[in-house]
Amino acid sequence: MAEVGKFEPEQDIKKKIEETRQKFNNEYVQGQESDKYDSRDVDRLQKDDALVEAYLTWRLYSVDDALKMIDDSFLWRKEYSLNDLTESSIPKWMFETGAVFLHGYDKEGNKLFWFKVKLHTKDAKTSMDKKKYVAFWLERYAKREPGMPLTVVFDMADSGISNIDMDFVKYVINCFKVYYPKFLSKMIIVDMPWILNAAWKIVRTWLGPEAISKLKFASKNEIQTFIGPEYLPPHMGGTDPFRYSYPPLPDDDFQTPVCENGPIVSEDDNESKDFESDSKELESSFSSEVAIEPKKVQNLLFNKRFVCLFTELLPLNVGTVSKTVTHRSALNIHAGAAYELILRLE
């Protein structure tokens, strides 16, 4: 992983892009087994200037170093079948744990990639599936937001020795160090127990001296230096009502949840049951004269399940209003006013 931002004249960049492509074809593709790489990755390298430049930038414009990184990342992509990795490729229980997900932004506008360490346990039997799980999220984001970096957040709250898997941590680091160029903005370790200090000193050596500046340690009181309260959970002193849930996969932004795959289930079992009951009652109210209690409307406004149901049931001609309802500012609406708004939109 190299420090990015080194200036190169545009003409030199274009020359190095072409040189990288030619050398890769001559030295890594020709004369090799036809299935060494996924042909889709090779084709993209030949067509996508931004991709080649990302490798070059991440390797300080050294063509040979960039070629080595391309080779390593393409071999990894082939091994993990990245281009064909789908939600159904991953065991359902991994999504249900909520141990890894994308949500929110840091103060610099970088997407947050959360790791809830307390939900992870080392298990050789599931190691490959967990690595594919991380790759799934990275690839999903890379396709949706090409060229946009991520800020990794390791939430260490309530974690201990049993939750630390150094092989897994090293893999996560390699995803950014080797496989995804220019993808890491920073890596924040939040609320780390003192007993794990030694383990994270080892992590520093994996990052390398040029990337130490990307590794940040923060307590719950310090995390707002990097992330605003609107994207922090309550246990970090934040105000974000978001709760990871599955199914379906939540959209990257809380304001625009994904609704097409079914209802969202809260990570808290008790709240899940409450919201499920409230959602069913809301659905019934849309198809009958039965009114629901204003307090339940307010509760539902804090849950994506309601937003999904609400936006799906609304007529198309009030779509603009429904988008307003999903916005975070609408989450603070008074219960009575919210209920009145729903009745008007029926």
- Residue 302: pLDDT above 70? no
194 and 110 in a common domain: yes
Domain contains 247: no
| 333: DSSP letter | -
Domain contains 257: no
The two tokens of residue 288 are 């009958």
Provide CB contacts within 8 A for 288, sequence distance 6+: none
Domain contains 261: no
What pTM, to 2 d.p., does this model score?
Answer: 0.69
| Cα–Cα distance measured from residue 21 to residue 30, given in angstroms and rounded to the nearest whole number | 12
182 and 43 in a common domain: no
143 and 273 in a common domain: no
172 and 283 in a common domain: no
136 and 18 in a common domain: no
C-alpha 294, offset from chain centre: 34
Query: Which domain, by its residues, includes 30?
Result: 10-79
For 190, counting Cβ atoms within 10 Å of its Cβ (0-12 exposed, 13-18 middle, 19+ buried), the class is: buried
**What pLDDT was estimated at residue 280?**
43
**What pLDDT was estimated at residue 249?**
79
Provide CB contacts within 8 A for 210, sequence distance 6+: 1, 2, 3
Q: What angle do CA 38, 39, 40 make, to 5 degrees?
A: 90
For 216, counting Cβ atoms within 10 Å of its Cβ (0-12 exposed, 13-18 middle, 19+ buried), the class is: middle
Domain contains 118: yes
Which tens digits make up the pLDDT trace of 151-209? 999 999 999 888 989 899 999 989 988 899 889 999 999 998 888 888 877 877 887 66
- The residue-averaged pLDDT of 202-220 equals 80
Give the number of domains in the chain.
3
Domain contains 242: no
186 and 103 in a common domain: yes
> Closest Cα partner for 251 from 238, 261, 236?
261
92 and 75 in a common domain: no
99 and 219 in a common domain: yes
